[in-house]
Chain A
Amino acid sequence: MSTPEPGLLVALVGNPNTGKSTLFNALTGLRQRVGNYPGVTVARKSGTCDLGDGQKVELVDLPGLYSLAAASPDEQVVIDALSGNIAGDRRPDAVVLVVDSTNLLRNLFLASQVAELGRPVVIVLNQADVAKEQGLRIDTELLSRRLGGVPVVMSSAWKGEGILDVRRAIASAVAQQTPMKRVAWPTNIAAALTEVANVAATDTGKVVTEADAQRLLFDTNPSTADRLGWTVAQREKTLRSARDRVRNSGYNPMAAEPLVHYAHLRIVLEGVVTEGAGKAGRSAAVDRLLLHRVLGPVLFLGIMLGFFGSVFWLAKFPMEWIQFGVDALKGVVAPQLDAYPMLQSLLADGIIGGVGAFLVFLPQILILFLFIGILEDSGYMARAAFIMDRLFSWCGLNGKSFVPLLSGFACAIPSLLSTRTIEDPKARLATAFVVPFMSCSARFPVYALMCAAFIGPLYGPGWQSVVMIGMHCVGLFFAVPTAFVLTRLVLKVKPQPFVLELPRYQMPKPRDVIWRMWQNAAEFVSKAGTVIFAITIIVWALSYFPRDPSVAERIKVANPSATEEVLKAKVQATYVEQSYMGRFGKAVQPIFDPLGFDWKITVGVLASFPAREVIVSTLGVTYSVGEGAEADSQHLRKAMQDAKWSEGPRAGTPIFSLAAVLALMVFFALCSQCGPTIATLAQETGGWKWAAGSFVYMTALAWLAGTAVYQVVIRLS
């Protein structure tokens, strides 16, 4: 990729869910994440855009926003970027305003505000295909003339149409530097703006632009004043006097800006859009069914049941093929190293056993993200937000909390970043605190292993889906009262109405869905080849050493009639019990005894605190080492099904009883076992206090809930 010319920086701005990131990807050839719901982009992303004539510019994709009156941190990113207030960034040389072609009036309000910045502007009327489908005809030439000659082009970034026109328009805007026609402020408001700009400039000694003056006069948010260093004491009197002046001219100072802009835009748009016969209202008809008060939640539950059922059903054979490959590899490698038992155990039991046990879940992860991609891109996820709103509003969460909580089902880290879309800092804090309760995809292999090994064989495949949904609801079940206590009693968050723009339904684009599947699969495999691989080696070493050579002799003497095979198994089991891991696990096991965990599960649970999926490879190693390298057909599920308590009051009974399996899954559903999540929570809440609180609270809750489940189920069964 060639370096862009210095000084040429172009920003991509627009309302949420207008296709900015899709256009950004089409212009730069990058693969920035896109989604058919608002709030997908929460931080600036940049790439190089070729303008078609060899000229290159740096293009910056910014989060979506409705107005320049920044209320939330992601909106503040846009204001900072447009005013050149981001570290290492210049002020953009041109701004590309991405507008939804089907809703010009509302979308152009932001464009009209951006015009006040005085930068050259390109208007891209995106989603032109949908406008055409709805029978809308837009006179782009007339609109361009009315907006002062700025380039106006139509595109359908999703279909890759009109991209060349956008490149040419950016080149033209950069070359001609044509600013967009500004709104004509009524005399009194213009005078008030001049007064604010002059006093602020005098008080701070800084250049105060007209755009700055508008933000100071019209917004209650002090971010512009803070940036300029205009103190409360300095600005209070001036702003009161200026707002009184606006009020005296018949405008409410807080509503004057949209009123004047919309009046201006109504004149600009007169005759620009012609409505013909189209297929409008299809989304509305589907929504009447999917958002029905009774049918909506029932259909939602049905979709989720089908979703998890299909994950098991479709992944069954690919998982068996991978397991077969892992066993075959172990079968080939182990005999080659018969002369080197230590190296043989490291490769066969440690690396192949541990990493293999983890990799087996790749097909389920692929299918999981295939379904998530389809649900997101079709527009259904935003409807799910609407359905769940009643629950969220009851527990005092802001309606905007849904997007972070929803994406928390994939991974908590981007979800914590997306809490920046929430304006109220207290609501943002409460949402960030409960995001780790959402059942992320790292928990999935743990549930899948337990369901496939115990729930499916015992109760049938249907119950696998039910337990899977149940485990995904456990986090939600505890998140709701936690949020209730936090928002109502601790933080005292003011309730806010839920405003979510429902995206239109669309056919998911196979390229985007497959790309997302590929990204997640690559991340999963890369994790298996790096972090899981390294942790597996450490876990193997701790499960293998120390080895007392006299153990074999002592066991042989104590069991004179035992066959060679039985003796070998007893020696292996004794070695593992006497290893560092065995000793440590046995020392800590009493803490987890009320949950029905033996020392091997305890070791798995403790090893999973940096990353929860480590339990699968840890169990893979501890059970492999215990069985010996030659037990290549004994894959993890079978070894766990056969495991029995060797001592104590439960001696001879299965370790993985229904009670222990459910307790383990509930523990994993609630426990705070992800180092990067805790670090991100600390970063997003501005300190370690809330992150440490979340860790202690979730871990204690997981232990209590796991204990309760084990004790209740064991008594009932």
Chain B
Amino acid sequence: MNLEAVIVGAIVGVAAGWLIRRWAAAARRRKEGGCAGDCGCSTKLKPKR
């Protein structure tokens, strides 16, 4: 395998991994009652009951 293919493969792999990690983090945040947007804010919305 040549170096060019390795570099391109690494870039594509990092992009895919980053997207999956971001969506997983947003889903976890929603589950914990945080903001459901993917803005990354940590607003807690559920009052204590």
Q: Which residues of A contact B (CB under 8 A)?
A: 43, 45, 76-77, 80, 85-88, 227, 340, 342-343, 346, 413, 417, 523, 530-531, 533-535, 537-538, 541, 675-676, 679-680, 682-684
Contact = CB atoms under 8 A, between A and B. Distances in A.
Contacts of A86: 47-48
Contact of A342 (B4, B46, B47): B4
B15 A88 contact: no
A85 B43 contact: no
Interface of B: 4-5, 7-8, 11-12, 15-16, 18-19, 22-23, 26-27, 30, 36-39, 43-49
B11 A346 contact: yes
Given A534-B15, A682-B36, A343 B4 contact: yes
Contacts of B19: 531, 534-535, 538
B15 A342 contact: no
A534 B16 CA distance: 7
Nearest to A42: B45
A72 B16 CA distance: 42
A85 B30 contact: no
A541 B12 contact: yes
B5 A342 contact: yes
A538 B16 contact: yes
A682 B27 CA distance: 12
A692 B33 CA distance: 19
Given A675-B38, A680-B37, A537 B12 contact: yes
Contacts of A413: 36-37, 39
18 contacts: A85-B48, A342-B4, A343-B7, A346-B11, A417-B45, A523-B39, A531-B19, A534-B18, A534-B19, A537-B15, A538-B12, A538-B19, A675-B23, A675-B38, A676-B38, A679-B26, A679-B27, A684-B36
Given A340-B4, A342-B5, A676 B37 contact: yes
B6 to A, nearest CB: 11
Contact of A676 (B12, B26, B44): B26
A413 B39 CA distance: 10
Q: Which of B15, B23, B26, B27 has the most CB of A within 10 A?
A: B15
A343 B9 CA distance: 10
A531 B39 CA distance: 11
B28 to A, nearest CB: 12
B30 to A, nearest CB: 6
User: Closest 5 A-B residue pairs measured CB to CB?
Assistant: A87-B48, A537-B15, A680-B36, A534-B15, A413-B37
B30 A346 contact: no
Contacts of B45: 43, 417, 683
A591 to B, nearest CB: 25
Given A43-B43, A346-B8, A679-B26, A538 B37 contact: no
A534 B17 CA distance: 9
A82 to B, nearest CB: 12
A684 B37 CA distance: 12
Nearest to A344: B4
Nearest to A678: B36
B1 to A, nearest CB: 12
B46 A87 contact: yes
B11 to A, nearest CB: 6
B47 A679 contact: no
B47 A87 contact: yes
B8 to A, nearest CB: 5
Contacts of A77: 47
Contact of B11 (A80, A85, A523, A537): A537
B36 A676 contact: yes
A330 B30 CA distance: 40
A684 B33 CA distance: 11
Contacts of B30: 679, 683
Contacts of B38: 531, 675-676
Contacts of B44: 87-88
A35 B37 CA distance: 21
Nearest to A536: B15
Q: Which of B22, B23, B30, B45 has the most CB of A within 10 A?
A: B45
